[in-house]
Structure 1
Amino acid sequence: MSEIELELKFVVGQPASSLWDDALRRALEKNDFTVVGTQKCELENTYFDTAKHIFEQHKVGMRVRGRDGQYEQTLKTQKEIKGGLHERNEFNVALADATPDLSAFPAHIWQDLSFAMPQNDELERQFTTHFTRLTIYLKHPLGECELVFDEGSIASDSAKQALNEVEIELVSGSAAVLLQVARLFTDKQVRLSDTSKAAQGYQLLQGLTNKTLPLPSHLMLDDRMSTEAVFCLGCETAMAHWQYHEHRFFAADSAKMLPEIQMSLRLLLQTLSLFLPVLQCQPLLDLQQRVLAFSDKWIWVDELQSTRFLLSKKGPFHKTLGRQGAVVSYLQGRQTGLINSHIPEKLLCSKDANEIKLAVIDMLLTKPWREHAQGVEQPVIEHAKGWLSQGRQTLHQSLQSARPLPAANYIAIETLLRQTLLNGFLLSDLFMHSRAGRAPWLDILIGIDEIRALVLLKQALCDAELDYEEGLIEWVDEKMNHLLQIMERTRQVALSKDVYW
């Protein structure tokens, strides 16, 4: 049996079934949902792969599920993720026992995949997911769905972690049904996740690293892509980047992920702002305002990044600051204080965060601008040159000066520079030689990050009454002067560059 699975998933920080309470029942009834049945069962799942992890490499999940002495093998292939909405091809075959048999799947599956079917004797047990599942069957005028509460664990031979998830899977009808149910969970301290159980299992098996995954240098485009298509790609890229690092923040408890989450919000906001004049509609404007307000709650991450930069053992300050025990302790305390006072865990599980994610999914599905906007199918290149020229002109006006600029001037243009560079991220692949044209501006942005760090350090030395070596403030001033000299040369190069479009 084959089907397309369409679902949303929330990760819960408490037993998932505790969310199935009278308040949720009343909310469902108020929103025209009828409970047509419930079911509770124990599910035991074993995931298989080859020694070279051929399934993992191709984002395929292969499991055998046991339930009440009955067994079924399932192959899931990732088709598409839109902001957190999972769409997968799913193939299910009944088995006589818990032994997988790949040849029992229809032959066309392997023709559609980009690799040959492994032999059964190549399969090895990888990890398990065992959980109690409470399923609520819901009916609505627009369709039917299953509301699922999973409680249990994911385990490999050497590690184990708790599993608490809420899944909403479409059975029939419109995907709007999923979104209506999902909106009832936004204020319950959950987070919308795009990480499957299989992906979590592989991470547990291999050990989760706390390495970030920076954005690429630009979106991959071609000059035939429509304005609508590039807008959607920009939003999907921002959401994928956000949820990737959000998952790793919770899994590895790593503050390194927070600047990448902030970058995701900046990219999402700039994508909305850049395309809004063309894709004019109220839902986009409302979403832009939501993202803007939520982004303001992450401004503190700039200071967090400055403290991390100063404390980095690979950074340009370690050789000198590493000897200043009191200064290092102060910066470490300041870093911890920022995290404790702003509580990113709550921000990421907040109603604001969940509503933004669901609004993006809704927007990507319904494309509300089509009702009013004109020219959304026009090639984006017809708009790109004007957008890039406008940003460049404003930036040039802000940086034009016959004299070298002081640090304050660079900090003042940081927001404008980030916006202009994000426009380039979204559009520069339409043009040859864009990398050389953007490079000096990217260098200036890196320099601004270093300026911020030095300003923070000097403020700490002057205000915090710390014990430090004589001459440290002079060293900071020398560092700043040297940095500004380099940035002045870079500014002149940037201003002399011809446009790349």
Structure 2
Amino acid sequence: MDTELELKYLICNDIEQNQLIENISALLAQPDVSVTPSQKYLSNVYFDTQDKRLRSLDIGLRIRKNQHGEAEQTIKTAGTVVAGLHQRPEYNLPVAGSFPELAEFPAHIWPDGEPVAQLQAALLPIFRTDFNRHCWMVQFADGSKVELALDIGLIVANDQQEAINEIELELVDGDAEHLFELSRLLISQLSLRPGQRSKAARGYQLAFNNDAEQAAIPSFDSSVICLNESMNIRESFVSGFSQALMLKQQLVAAYLHQPKLELIKQIADVLALSRHGLWLYQDYLPESQSERIRTQFSGVLQDLTWVESALQLQELTTASGNYRKKVEYSQNLLTELQGKLQGFPSEQEMKMYFTSADFNELQLQELQLIVTLDTRVASESGLLEFASNWLDDGLQQLQRAISMEQNMAEQQYLQSHMVLVRSLLTGYWFGQLFAAEERCEFRRPWLDMHSGIDELENLCLLRETLQQQSKLPKKLVNWLESQVDCLIQALEHCRQVALSIPPYWR
């Protein structure tokens, strides 16, 4: 039995195959590194039962043949995937024919009582993958070996097909740091993004025409990070940071498939959540490493600050927006708002950004922190105490930022927004550790307040743009001030309700 440790990247542009091979070969021409290239054609048939019993056990079964007709059967059992880093135990055995022989595999890989003979009888070929693999075996000065594989081909099932165009880096022997070293070299020159889904996962989706095989993108709510109170503090960081990283990559993949401003906003929200985690756990993380990543987060978030304004303008100008009919009272105002929206980065520019070297480098730094952090170190306090202390801190800062008794004015709400956001981010990290009913009751008015201030910012943008007009439409001005007054009243109600509910963590 071997345990794969590999990084997978998907190639995001249409570079010609021979040019790609030349580029990779040139990149690997490094001092103190020896490279042995090779090439082979691999044909793989994946098997399961009609009811996908193996899939339900998180077991992958295939037979692979090379260009010489030599066959090998492989079982991969449950593993982990974080940010394109795949770790799965695998069992490889020679096989004489074109059909798996389950009895040849070790008995311990099967759940107790699993009827292996019945599984054998029910096996069917489900899909196949056929691809050319261009390999570079890279040996470093310390003896470590990493296999870099460029796979180009097809996944085929039910007369449908999907392209394979990816790079895998597998640690064959030695120090895993070299995986990151080679990855950094590749992302510096190639348009790539981490690949979370294996060829097998994509094959199952194609074979069963089942969108559920592709993980649904969760919304940015209290379920983003799910921690367990049995974890120690460092384990909880690794778990939460990994979950945020995986969600961010799902959102990026969704944006590359179908660009929407809302997805960029969610990506920025997850980036902010991850950066907030580095701050919450700073006493338990390597100082220089975490500070470097926080700086990188801040740089990317700065690059994405425009999306808030873009969403506000989209809400004000789209035909389905809440305020479009009112904005149409002034054609000059509508034209100016639409002009501002055109000044933001294009969809193509954002696709390039999300596959750029800088964005990939941030994800690689996050992954390195996850992989290298020693979670075995005991903590002086338990996770629940740690979480409660931070939740208390966030609430206290929020209470200092808002009035506990007097009514608040428009500017006070706007100025308190970032304090509210930070408190909510702490809740996203730790909320799942506590009872759902009390948590939801406590957070609901604060989340409503957050949404209300977002809406207030939309109206402020509209008012600011309106005031720049040479002629102010009186009807629109009156309506706008009425909307702001009504919203302030709603925010006052949210504030009073929020302050009356006891914290769920106490």
- Same fold, judged at TM 0.5 (above): yes
Q: Which residue of 2 aligns with 1:45?
A: 44
Matches within 5 A, 1:268-283: 268-279=274-285, 281-283=287-289
Matched, 1:400 2:403: yes
The aligned amino acid for 1:345 is K
Q: 1:352 to 1:53 in 2, by over 3 A?
A: same
Aligned to 1:139: 139
Paired residues for 1:23-42 under 5 Å? 25=26, 29-30=30-31, 32-35=32-35, 37-42=36-41
Partner SS for 1:265: helix
2:66 corresponds in structure 1 to 67
Q: Aligned runs of 1:177-188 on 2, under 5 Å?
A: 177-188=178-189
**CA–CA separation in structure 1 for the residues paired with 2:98 and 2:105:** 15
TM-score w.r.t. the length of structure 1 is 0.84
Aligned to 1:499: 503
Q: Give the CA deviation at 1:142.
A: 5.2
Give, as a single letter, the amino acid of the residue that structure 2 aligns with 1:453.
N
Cα distance in 2, alignment partners of residues 118 and 251 from structure 1: 41
The amino acid across from 1:132 in the alignment is: N
Residue 441 of structure 2 aligns with which residue?
436
2:486 to 482, 488, 491: 482
Q: Given the superposition, is the C-alpha separation of residues 454 and 415 from structure 1 closer, same or farther in structure 2, using an over 3 Å criterion?
A: same
Q: Deviations over 1:274-297 (max 9, x none)?
A: 111343521111111111112211
Name the counterpart of 1:293.
299
- Secondary structure of 2:179's counterpart equals helix
C-alpha distance in structure 1 between counterparts of 2:130 and 2:97, whole Å:
17
CA distance in 1, matches of 2:443, 2:487: 20
In structure 2, distance between residues paired with 1:471 and 1:123: 72
Q: Select the residue among 415, 421, 424 that pairs with 1:421.
A: 424
Alpha-carbon distance change, 22 to 79 in structure 1, aligned in 2, over 3 angstroms = closer
Greater mean alpha carbon deviation, residues 274-283 or residues 315-324: 315-324
SS of 1:29's partner is coil
Q: Residue 215 of structure 1 contacts residue 241 of structure 1 at CA under 8 Å; is this kept in 2?
A: no
Preserved CA contact (<8 Å) 1:259 1:301: yes
Question: Partner of 2:444: helix, strand, or coil?
Answer: helix
Distance in 1, matches of 2:115 and 2:349, equals: 44
Whether the aligned pair in 2 keeps the contact of 1:24 and 1:184 (CA below 8 Å) is no
Q: Work out whether 1:221 is the aligned partner of 2:224.
A: no
- After superposition, the Cα gap between the structure-2 partners of 1:314 and 1:27, relative to the gap in structure 1 and judged at 3 Å, is same
CA contact (8 A) 1:281 1:369 kept: no
Q: How does 1:11-410 map onto structure 2 within 5 Å?
A: 11-12=10-11, 13=13, 14-15=15-16, 18-21=19-22, 25=26, 29-30=30-31, 32-35=32-35, 37-68=36-67, 69-111=69-111, 119-120=119-120, 122-140=122-140, 141=142, 143-157=144-158, 159-188=160-189, 189-204=191-206, 205-206=209-210, 212-215=217-220, 217-218=222-223, 219-279=225-285, 281-307=287-313, 309=315, 338-340=344-346, 343-367=349-373, 376=379, 378-400=381-403, 402-410=405-413
Are the structure 2 counterparts of residues 450 and 62 from structure 1 closer, same or farther at C-alpha, using a change threshold of 3 Å? Answer: farther
Q: Is the 8 A contact 1:145 1:177 kept in 2?
A: yes
Deviation at 1:454, TM superposition (A): 3.4
Structure 2 SS opposite 1:338: coil
1:190-248 deviations in whole A, cap 9, x for unaligned? 22232222233344543599974214515433444222111111211111111111222
Distance 1:27 1:72, change over 3 A: closer
CA deviation string 1:429-465 (max 9, x = no partner): 4444333222221221122232233344555666689
Task: Report the AA paired with residue 136 of structure 1.
Answer: W
Counterpart Cα distance in 2 of 1:42 and 1:330: 57
In structure 2, C-alpha distance between the alignment counterparts of 1:326 and 1:157, rounded to whole Å: 55
Q: Compute the displacement of 1:266 (Å).
A: 1.0
What corresponds to 2:7 in structure 1? 8
CA distance in 2, matches of 1:115, 1:315: 58
Stretch of structure 1 that moved more, 374-383 or 347-356: 374-383
* Superposed CA offset, 1:326-365 (max 9, x none): 9999878766653417822122112222222221222122
Structure 2 letter corresponding to 1:495: L
Structure 2 SS opposite 1:273: helix
The unaligned stretches of length 5 or more in structure 2 are none
Whole-Å Cα distance in 2 between the matches of residues 139 and 311 of structure 1? 57
Q: Which amino acid aligns with 1:131?
A: F
Tell me how far 1:104 sits from its aligned partner.
4.4
The count of corresponding residues between Structure 1 and Structure 2 is 494
Judge conservation of contact 1:193–1:247 (CA < 8 Å) in 2. no
Q: Structure 1 CA distance, aligned partners of 2:330 and 2:120?
A: 60
Amino acid at match of 2:388: K
Query: CA shift at 1:380, angstroms?
Result: 2.6
Preserved CA contact (<8 Å) 1:84 1:357? no
Describe the superposition over 1:141-164 as per-residue Cα deviations: whole angstroms up to 9, x where unpaired.
152110111122334436444322
Quick one: structure 1 residues 98 and 415, their matched pair in 2 at CA, closer, same or farther if it must change by over 3 Å? Answer: farther
1:63 & 1:233 partners in 2: Cα distance? 31
Question: After superposition, what is the alpha-carbon deviation per residue over 1:29-62, rounded to whole angstroms, capped at 9, x for unaligned?
Answer: 23x3211x22111222333444444444554433
CA distance in 2, matches of 1:354, 1:226: 29
Amino acid at match of 1:228: R
CA distance in 1, matches of 2:452, 2:114: 44
Distance 2:81 2:198 in 1: 11
The alpha carbon displacement at 1:77 in A equals 2.9
340-349 vs 294-303, greater mean Cα deviation: 340-349
